[in-house]
Amino acid sequence: MKNSLRHILFAGLSAASLVLGSLPARAADWPAKPITIIVPFVAGGTTDIVSRIVGKKLSESLHQPVIIDNRGGAGGTVGAAIAARAPADGNTFFMATIAHTIAPALYKNLSYDFSRDLDPVGLVASTPNVLIVNPSIPVNTVGELIAYIKAHPGAVNFGSAGTGSTEHLSGELFRSLTGTKITHIPYKGGAPMMADLISGQIQMAIETSPSAYPQVRSGRVKALAVTTLKRSPAYPGVPTLDEAGVPGYDVTTWYALMAPHGTPAAIVQRMNVELGRVLKEDDVEKQFVKQGLTAGNMTPDQLATFIHSETLKWGKVVKESGAKLE
């Protein structure tokens, strides 16, 4: 009896040792197949730009193809739901944005729980948003824009990458703090929104820096202010909204790599290390700086804390701004 019990106990401990011992091996052998990064907005927008810059470098570093899978819709929540249901095997990751800490306060019936169903891997980048207008609007400053909107109530439309996106809430915050009447026009991503802004179908947007930068530089749209409390080197001479007449306005857009909940911790840690290495490469840094992006630098635990604080912050903003879904 004692021998049988000893045999069972030994077998159990051996099995546990094999399982625990296999985790580092699994991380060391990973990845054994192509990796997919689900991007919750259509191609051409800032989330897509950031994902492709980083994805290309991760492919070289990990010696496996990195596939960018654009799944736009509903302010980024369609892609998030797909990622939350993906197998937690280390082959699928998700490019989350500030929009995903906004969504819980806007949507009552999300099919996923952002804080529960997706595990933090690492912060990829952060960037200011930029208040831009179509050149046909006869304004050159934020003060002139506010005066124009008040003189033409209901005539100015602002676009966004989708309901609940950072562009949407940035616009809602602007409307709330300035007491202006502007109409939100949601799109399925930043690229189609920008096309309509350039053509004059909409009059203004508060867009992410990388998406706005080439259009500002070409003169197709006009930059009036950035949304952070500090000016951006990418927009010399462009003031912050806070100093341009909207005191207290402060929005920073960010992008973070996540994994389906339950992805092995060893793989999450390995990806965090690889991401950190990629973000320090000279050509990545040059591409980021050119577009007003700042590379991230957080452990998974630090990112979890950051996401929690952002969720609380934006829940308050949504409530105070009165933002509602169309």
Judge whether 218 lies within some domain.
Answer: yes
Length of the chain: 326
Note down the domain range covering 167.
128-226
Same domain assignment for residues 307 and 258: yes
Judge whether 2 lies within some domain.
Answer: no
- In which element (H, E) is residue 132 found? strand 118-133
* CA angle centred on 91, ends 115 and 161, rounded to 5°: 55
The CA-to-CA distance between both ends of the chain, in Å, stands at 70
Judge whether 154 lies within some domain.
Answer: yes
Same domain assignment for residues 120 and 152: no
Residue 324's pLDDT band, with cuts at 50, 70 and 90, is low
Note the pLDDT tens digit of each residue in 215-272: 999 999 999 999 999 999 889 899 999 999 999 999 989 999 999 999 999 999 999 9
Looking at residues 272-290, what average pLDDT do you find? Answer: 95
User: Is 305's pLDDT higher than 80?
Assistant: yes
In angstroms, the Cα distances linking 188 to 43, 46, 292 are 10, 13, 23
Per the structure, the count of domains in the chain is: 2
Decide the pairing of beta strands 157-160 and 204-208. Answer: parallel
Judge whether 5 lies within some domain.
Answer: no
Same domain assignment for residues 61 and 147: no
Same domain assignment for residues 210 and 257: no
Judge whether 240 lies within some domain.
Answer: no
Decide the pairing of beta strands 35-39 and 66-70. Answer: parallel
Secondary structure class of 152 (helix, strand, coil)? coil
Judge whether 118 lies within some domain.
Answer: yes
Same domain assignment for residues 267 and 167: no
What one-character-per-residue DSSP string does 225-270 give? Answer: EESSSS--TTSTTPPBTTTTT-TT---EEEEEEEEETT--HHHHHH
Same domain assignment for residues 123 and 259: yes
Note the pLDDT tens digit of each residue in 131-173: 999 999 999 999 999 999 999 988 999 999 877 778 888 998 8
Judge whether 21 lies within some domain.
Answer: yes
Domain endpoint, select from 191, 226, 261: 226
Which candidate, 126, 133, 58, 42, places its Cα nearest to that of 93? 58
Same domain assignment for residues 167 and 70: no
Residue 186 sits in a domain whose CATH number is: 3.40.190.10
Residue 116 sits in a domain whose CATH number is: 3.40.190.150
pLDDT at res. 14:
42
pLDDT at res. 291:
76
Q: Are 102 and 318 spatial neighbours (Cβ–Cβ below 8 Å)?
A: yes
Note the pLDDT tens digit of each residue in 54-84: 999 999 999 999 999 999 988 889 999 999 9
Same domain assignment for residues 217 and 72: no
Q: Are 257 and 53 spatial neighbours (Cβ–Cβ below 8 Å)?
A: no
Same domain assignment for residues 178 and 274: no
Which candidate, 281, 271, 314, places its Cα nearest to that of 26? 271
Judge whether 231 lies within some domain.
Answer: no
Q: Residue 56 is encoded by which pair of tokens?
A: 């290309």
Note the pLDDT tens digit of each residue in 19-45: 444 444 466 789 999 999 999 998 988
User: Is 323's pLDDT higher than 80?
Assistant: no
Same domain assignment for residues 72 and 146: no
Average pLDDT, the chain: 89
Residues 6+ positions from 264 with CB-CB distance below 8 Å: 23, 26, 27, 88, 90
Same domain assignment for residues 167 and 301: no
